[in-house]
Amino acid sequence: MRAIIAGVLISAAVVGAVEVLFRKAGGLPSVAAGLTRVEFQWKVKRARDRDGVVLYVVGDSRVGWGFAERIFNREYASLAGSDRFVAVNVGLAAANVPDNLEYILRLNAGRPPQAIVLNYSPAAFYLFLNDPGPPIPGLKIQDVLDDRLDSHLAEWLWTRGRWHDTTAQIWGYLQTRRVAGSVNFVHRTAFDDGFVNATLATNIGTPVDNAAFQLAFYRRMIAGLSADAANARKRRARVSEIVRSGRALGWRVVLVRLPLGAAVREVEAGLPQDLQADALAKALDVPFVDYATDPRTAAFDTLDGSHLTPEAARAFAPIMAGDLYRMMNDEFDALDRPQS
Partner 1 sequence: MVFNSLFFFLTLIPVLAVYFATRARRSRFAKIVLLVYSWIFYAMWNPAFLTLLIGSTVLDYSVALGLEKWPEHKRRLLVISLVIEFGLLGFFKYYDFFIATTASAFRAIGIAWSPPLLHILLPIGISFYTFHCVSYTVDVYRGRIRAERSFLDVAVFVAFFPQLVAGPILRASHFLPQLRETPAIRWKDIADGITLVLFGLFLKVVIADNVAARVGYLFDHWQVIGRLATWSAAMQFGVQIYMDFNGYSLMAIGLGQILGYHIPINFNAPYAAAGFSDFWRRWHISLSTWLRDYLYVPLGGNRHGTARTYANLVITMVLGGLWHGASAMFVLWGAMHGAYLCAERFARERIALRVPLPPAVISALLIVVTYLTVSITWIPFRATSAEQCLGMLARMFNGDMHYDAALSRDYAIALVVFAGHCLSRRYDFIAQALNRAGVRLVSVTAILLLLYFCSGERSEFIYFQF
Task: Give the bridge partners for 51, in sequence order.
Answer: none
105 near 246, Cβ under 8 Å?
A: yes
**Among residues 162, 219, 233, 247, the one that binds partner 1 under rule CB under 8 A:** 162
Please tell me whether residue 20 binds partner 1 under the rule CB under 8 A: no
Select 19 or 294, whichever has its Cβ closest to partner 1: 19
Burial status of residue 194 (CB atoms within 10 A of its CB: 0-12, 13-18, 19 or more): buried
Report if residue 10 touches partner 1, rule: CB under 8 A: yes
Q: What is the DSSP letter of 274?
A: G
- Half-sphere exposure of 194 toward its Cβ, with a 13 Å CA cutoff? 20
Binding span for partner 1 by CB under 8 A among 117-125, 140-148, 198-206, 209-217: 140-148
- For CA atoms 237, 134, 336, 255, the dihedral sign is negative
Out of 16, 163, 223, 327, point to the residue binding partner 1 (CB under 8 A).
163
Nearest residue to 38 via CA among 142, 165, 192, 118: 142
Taking the least distance from each CB to partner 1, the nearer of 50 and 220 is: 50
Stretch that binds partner 1, among 69-77, 132-140, 308-316, 330-338 (CB under 8 A): 132-140
Q: Which stretch binds partner 1 (CB under 8 A): 14-22, 43-51, 83-91, 318-326?
A: 14-22
Q: Is residue 88 within 8 Å of 57, Cβ to Cβ?
A: yes
To the nearest whole angstrom, how small is the minimum distance from the Cβ of residue 206 to partner 1?
29
Within 141-160, the residues that bind partner 1 by CB under 8 A are 141-142, 145-146, 149-150, 153, 157, 159-160
Site for partner 1 (CB under 8 A): which residue of 111, 140, 234, 326?
Answer: 140
Cβ contact 219:267 at 8 Å: yes
CB 332, min distance to partner 1, A: 28
Contact between 209 and partner 1 by CB under 8 A: the answer reads no
- Residue 15 engages partner 1 in binding (rule: CB under 8 A): yes
Q: In angstroms, what CA-CA distances link 175 with 25, 26, 29, 178?
A: 11, 13, 22, 8
Contact between 16 and partner 1 by CB under 8 A: the answer reads no
Residue among 325, 288, 279, 252 nearest 80 (CA) = 325
CA distances from 36 to 33, 39, 97, 119, 319 (A): 8, 5, 15, 18, 27
Inter-residue contact 137 to 38 (CB < 8 Å): no
Instruction: State which of residues 161, 181, 250, 272 lies at the interface with partner 1 (CB under 8 A).
Output: 161
Residue selected from 121, 166, 297, 302 as contacting partner 1 according to rule CB under 8 A: 166
CB 132 within 8 A of CB 104: no
CB of 11 to partner 1, least distance (A): 4
Q: Is 109 in the site for partner 1 (CB under 8 A)?
A: no
Which is closer to partner 1, CB of 167 or CB of 231? 167
Q: How many residues interact with partner 1 (rule CB under 8 A)?
A: 29
For 273, half-sphere exposure in the C-beta direction (CA atoms, 13 angstrom radius) is 0
Residues found near partner 1 in the complex (CB under 8 A) = 1-4, 6-8, 10-11, 14-15, 18, 137-138, 140-142, 145-146, 149-150, 153, 157, 159-163, 166
